[in-house]
Every structure is written in C-alpha cells, then in structure tokens.
Amino acid sequence: METNQYTRRQALQATAVLGTALLLPVSYVNAVTPPPGKTPPLTADEIAAVDAALGKKGSYKDTEQVYTTPLPRNDLKMKIKGEPIPIPFGFGGWVSFKKTADGKSAMVMSDTVLQMEEVNPLISAAHANGLEIAAIHNHFFYEEPRIFYMHIHGIGTVAELAKKYADTIRDSKLFPANQPAPTAPATITGKENFDLPALDAIVRYTGTVNGPTYKYTIGRADLKIMAMGVEMTTNIGLNSWASFAGRQDDAHIAGDIAMLQGEVNSVIKTLRAHNLEVVAVHNHMLGDDPHMIFLHYYGRGNATTLAQGFRAALDVLGKKDGDMDNMKM
C-alpha cells in the first residue's frame, strides 16, 4: 500500500469530522482552533453587569477567568426512593460567563434544574432572547418530583449575555428573586455526616462541604477542550463530580463523569463493577472539540465503598486505550 493512501479507519474518521462540521453553525466551526494566549479576565464592570441582571452575586475563579452564579432550586422538596434529599446533593443549577480566547466575545453556559412542565416554556424563552439549547436530560432515577436538566448557551458580550439570560429565566423559578428566602444553615453538616479525611484519601482530592452534603468537583486538566472559541474548564462545565448525602454508613452518591468518546464504555464497565448505577449518557455542550460525553451515576451504601467506585472511574480517564484511534473498527 502506498503511504499517501487512507486506511478505512482514517476515511471513516475524516467523514465523521466533515459530517459534524457541516451540521454546525459557521461560528462554531471557525472557532475550533484557539488563538495563542491566556483567556482574558472579566472586568469589574462586566461582573457588575451580571450581578445587576440576576440580582445576585456570584463567584470568580481567577485561574479559569470564569464567573459563576449558583441557581439552586430551594423551592423544591426532593426525595429519592421516598427519602428526603437536600437540594445541594444535585438539584442546584448555575450560570457561568467566560471570554473567548481572543477576547472578542464571551460565552454564557448554564445548567438549569427544571420540572417537566417547566422545560418547554424555558426553551421558548431562551430562543426568544437569542440563546440556544445545548442539551436536555435526566441526572437521576427514583427522584420525586421528576427533574430534568437543560443546558443553555450563547455568544456575545458579557453585558448582553447577562441581560439575555436574566430575561430568559425571569418568569421562572430559576430567577433568584423568585426563590424562597434562604433557610437557616444546617446544624449538622457534611463535616459531621461523613469521615472527610477517609473520603479524601480515597478520592485523592479535597471536597467541599455544602450544608449536609459533601462534594468533589474535578476538572480534566489532561485535555484542552474548545467550544465556540472558549476554552472549556472546570467551572464552566467541564468536570467530573461526586456528591454525598446521608451519613457515612448509609450514604447516597450521585455524580457525573466527563469523558472522551473512547472512554465511555470503560467508565460504564468500571462503575457497574463497583455496583454503581448508570443513570444517563449524553452531551452537555455543542461545538466542543474534541467532543465530550457525560455520564451520570447513582449509588447507595457505605460512603467509603461509594468513594472507591468514583475513584475507580476517574482512574479510567486519560488512559491511552480510551482514545478513539485505538478502538477497533
């Protein structure tokens, strides 16, 4: 065979890439290759514009140049298999803002927590305000009421996006002013509910106490993912996480694993080997390169055992044999 001939695998891969490019808006296709340099930070005026539009302050992550405002659904009373579950376990949405690598524009990315009857009105509101829907899916089994998660994104200036997003959610329960007043902080927190040093030793990261829950949020530092000219990082949605509720000897775990396509089934196999339930496999973003897949899982048992299952799934990520190039065709 001559060296300039394509193999069957290369031809199929090229066709897949071309087909994807033809389906994406031109702005997405042209934004795949980032310009050199560090992502520009948001200015104080841009952050103030977000705060004013949403009527709530967020937090800024300097290492990523991302500004995030939490949007928890504190109006909901959630149960899993009939047992009350705190909202921080996995029923808190968010919206983040980050500039493109060339600084000429910015992205808004959001994950919203919705009851079934709220989904389509929010789709209409997003489209009416010039934003797009990137994904709609479940994160859980067994929850009451039934909850779906919608990812909304858009490109523009920070001030424009803040206004568009605020107008999109203004008539929904997502808007901070439409949420009930905060309740008193939990007297018993995740620090008392769980053996944090033991869990940290297993996961090999330090989590965050949020009310009665404990959560790990872990990025993909091994990857450079671009979408619409923006480098996708931990606090704008490119992460794996594990949240613990309950107590050390009788815990719930729920979370998400961010994967390359070739890693998906290795992660599924690993989670099932650790008796964790696979709940959903889907995308969160459009126009991302390389394309990321997200898997949601759930488990119940001793927190230590559950943490071992999460750590085992993390260990699969970044393996050479998880690359699409090494999958047999």
Concatenated DSSP letters of 281-325? EE-S-SSEESPEEEEEEEEEE-HHHHHHHHHHHHHHTT-GGGSGG
Residue 175 has phi, psi (to 5 degrees) of -65, 130
> 219 vs 36, which has greater pLDDT?
219
Mean pLDDT of 268-285: 98
Mean pLDDT of 170-199: 93
CA distance 292 to 304: 28
CA distance 285 to 230: 12
Res 37: pLDDT: 56
Res 33: pLDDT: 40
Q: Which of 274, 260, 208 is nearest to 235 (CA)?
A: 208
CA distance 148 to 137: 6
Element (H, E) at 212: none
Mean pLDDT of 13-29: 38
CB 9 within 8 A of CB 329: yes
Mean pLDDT of 242-269: 98
Mean pLDDT of 20-25: 38
Res 320: pLDDT: 65
Query: Does the CA dihedral 60-66-67-73 come out positive or negative?
Result: negative
Lowest mean pLDDT: which of 18-22, 259-263, 306-310? 18-22
Res 182: pLDDT: 76
Query: Does the CA dihedral 307-58-165-97 come out positive or negative?
Result: negative
pLDDT tens-digit series, residues 281-307: 999 999 999 999 999 999 999 999 999
Quote the distance between the C-alpha of residue 126 and its chain's center: 19
The single-letter DSSP state of residue 88 is G
pLDDT tens-digit series, residues 201-252: 999 999 999 999 999 999 999 999 999 999 999 999 999 999 999 999 999 9
Element (H, E) at 204: none
pLDDT tens-digit series, residues 38-83: 899 999 999 999 999 999 999 999 999 999 999 999 999 999 999 9
Res 198: pLDDT: 98
Torsion of CA 46, 47, 48, 53, to 10 degrees: 90
Name 137's Cβ contacts closer than 8 Å, sequence gap at least 6: 148, 149, 280, 282
Q: Buried (b) or exposed (e) across 236-270, using 16+ Cβ within 10 A?
A: bbbbbbbbbbbbbeebbbbbbbbbbebbbebbbeb
Res 95: pLDDT: 98
Name 118's Cβ contacts closer than 8 Å, sequence gap at least 6: 172, 173
Q: Where are the beta strands (DSSP E) in 83-158?
A: 83-85, 92-99, 106-115, 132-137, 143-144, 147-156
Res 192: pLDDT: 97
